[in-house]
Amino acid sequence: MADRFRITCGQMNPTVGDIAGNAAKAKHAWDIGRDAGADMVALPEMFIAGYNAQDLVMKPAFHNAAMQAVDDLAAACADGPTLAIGGPYAEDGQLFNAYFICKGGRVVTRVLKHNLPNETVFDEVRIFDSGPLGGPYSVGNARVGSPICEDAWHPEVSETLEETGAEFLLVPNGSPYYREKFDTRLNHMVARVVETGLPLIYLNMVGGQDDQVFDGGSFGLNPGGNLAFKWPVFDEVVSHVDLERGADGWRIVPGEIVTDPDAWEQDYRVMVTSLRDYMAKTGFKKVLLGMSGGIDSALVATIAADALGPDNVRCVMLPSEYTSDHSLEDAKACANALGCRYDFVPISGPRAAVTETLAPVFEGTEPGLTEENIQSRLRGLLLMAMSNKFGEMLLTTGNKSEVAVGYATIYGDMSGGYNPIKDLYKTRVFETCRWRNVNHRDWMMGPEGEVIPDRIITKPPSAELREDQKDSDSLPDYPDLDALLEILVDHNGSIADCVAAGFDRAVAQKVEKLVYISEYKRFQSAPGARLTKGAFWLDRRYPIVNRWRDPT
């Protein structure tokens, strides 16, 4: 009869800084594994601390508390399966990203991460020291190798483990979502399996942390790169992976292979999850937002209703004399379709008071952008007042196209604590609204059916800060703008690249200038869900003062 080995894996959602809560989750997974006769219970990378903890993990009081929590867990899990859990480890003035192997009441092995990612949202080179290339550790009748996340993206760690006796690979990860990332992960892991000839279990965490969402999707590969199992994305899963050893070594016993949803659904799930977890992990329970009758606020209201439930969402219409009748109708219709509270707070009175107050100072000047922005800033003031009064977090509603070129008013419509659509270009906003109107999933707390009225989707976008205003008065049409921004922002391309793609040089230069001069706005903007590798914040870090312009 073949040897068997069972690993209970926790595709779980830790909270950065909640060491006690993360330890309790780990113990819960261990209890499940113990009751199922597991040989080993495994949690993801840096699980005890939460991930990505950034500079918090360098604080001695923090990483010492995390290390003590691992020791306490080891003691609590003395009688049963081996526990493997990620966390920080400090020794002799160095700090490592470690994977702790706990057995018999103590930590028996520490695997130290060797390859430290230093791109996109990761800055581990300045936080951690690089560990040495190490060998496998023994658990029962097996020798296990654990390349930690980035270590499995490079061949030398896995090859060293295979050469020193590892019989299969267990890869703990804190790998956040970006569009189509699963294919990238799979390709790298297949390469490790082909190079080493070893089975591989890829264990990822789930849940939101600031702008990032860890999307799970844990999977196993047998030699040859054949998929043995695949877990769902975004959901917490504690389940068992069985291996059998035959003449050719260990093989993962095949299990269910869950198919991933399409990119539209995954993006939407990320925006819902990011808001839901941001609220839960910061302690907020309710949100409010300015409901303009436009498409961006309609989508944000829908995401909020799906994340928190309609009873926890307040939609506020703050009309001026430039607000059209159809915007009034559409805003109320969308709020009602979602089942959210709808408040009507006109700004005509406050705007008149501000205009009168400033009249002596502005005497002799012509009305223009300043007066338009007063409307936006009044709305921001009133929404923040309601946020303070009712303890509801204000959501801001600017899409990536607007955020990129600064088509938003700082201290006005940019006011807020979180922006679910910050990394969603305007053209994708339209398509996402259409997608949500015809799709509903059990993880959505909002109602089924058409919740965003068709007129909101089809009418020309407008800020409605002056008569007959349209976004196209100030910006290229959104399909062109978004295509230019994908070149300049997402792909870090040049003006020459824009021209080669068929765009007018002067238009491309105008867009580039708008991107650069609005950096100061983004520096002060709310965080938002990361959907791409070109998201504004940690993915793209540009100076505020910047006189350079692409001469090509």
Percent of the chain surpassing pLDDT 70: 99
- pLDDT band, residue 468 (cuts 50/70/90): confident
Antiparallel, parallel or unpaired: β 341-344 and 313-317: parallel
Query: Which pLDDT value is given to residue 472?
Result: 75
Task: Tell me the C-alpha distance between 463 and 467, whole Å.
Answer: 10
Give me the helices (H) in 262-347, please: 263-282, 295-308, 325-338
| pTM of the predicted model as reported, rounded to 2 decimal places | 0.95
Q: What are phi and psi of 419, to 5 degrees?
A: -130, 100
Give the pLDDT confidence of 327-350 residue by residue, as tens digits: 999 999 999 999 999 999 999 999
pLDDT exceeds cutoff 60 at 248 = yes
pLDDT exceeds cutoff 70 at 407 = yes
Active site residue ranges: 45, 113, 149
Arithmetic mean of pLDDT, 416-425 = 97
Query: Which pLDDT value is given to residue 1?
Result: 39
Q: With 0-12 CB in 10 A as exposed, 13-18 as middle and 19+ as buried, what is 351? A: middle
Task: Tell me the C-alpha distance between 220 and 260, whole Å.
Answer: 15
Angle at 63 between CA 210 and CA 65, to 5 degrees: 105
Q: Residue 254: which of 266, 270, 243, 238 has the closest Cα?
A: 243
Per the prediction, the chain carries an average pLDDT of 95
156's tokens: 């030398």
Query: Which pLDDT value is given to residue 552?
Result: 87
Domains and CATH numbers, the chain: 3-260 (3.60.110.10), 264-469 (3.40.50.620)
Q: Residue 338: which of 447, 449, 455 has the closest Cα?
A: 447
260's tokens: 């991933």
pLDDT exceeds cutoff 60 at 251 = yes
268's tokens: 């939407």
Arithmetic mean of pLDDT, 234-258 = 97
- pLDDT band, residue 179 (cuts 50/70/90): very high
Task: Tell me the C-alpha distance between 542 and 539, whole Å.
Answer: 10
Which H or E run contains 381?
A: helix 369-390
Which residues have a Cβ under 8 Å from the Cβ of 449 and sit 6 or more positions away? Answer: 337, 437, 440
Per DSSP (E only), the strands in 348-488 are: 393-394
233 three-class SS: strand
349's tokens: 């009175």
pLDDT exceeds cutoff 80 at 319 = yes
Which H or E run contains 287?
A: strand 287-290
Which H or E run contains 433?
A: helix 426-438
Per DSSP (E only), the strands in 370-469 are: 393-394
Arithmetic mean of pLDDT, 532-539 = 91
Query: Which pLDDT value is given to residue 466?
Result: 73
Task: Tell me the C-alpha distance between 308 and 287, whole Å.
Answer: 9
pLDDT exceeds cutoff 70 at 298 = yes
Query: Which pLDDT value is given to residue 2?
Result: 60
Residue position matching structure tokens 């261990």: 30
CA dihedral 320, 325, 326, 332 (to 10 degrees): 70
Arithmetic mean of pLDDT, 5-32 = 98
Query: Which pLDDT value is given to residue 120?
Result: 86
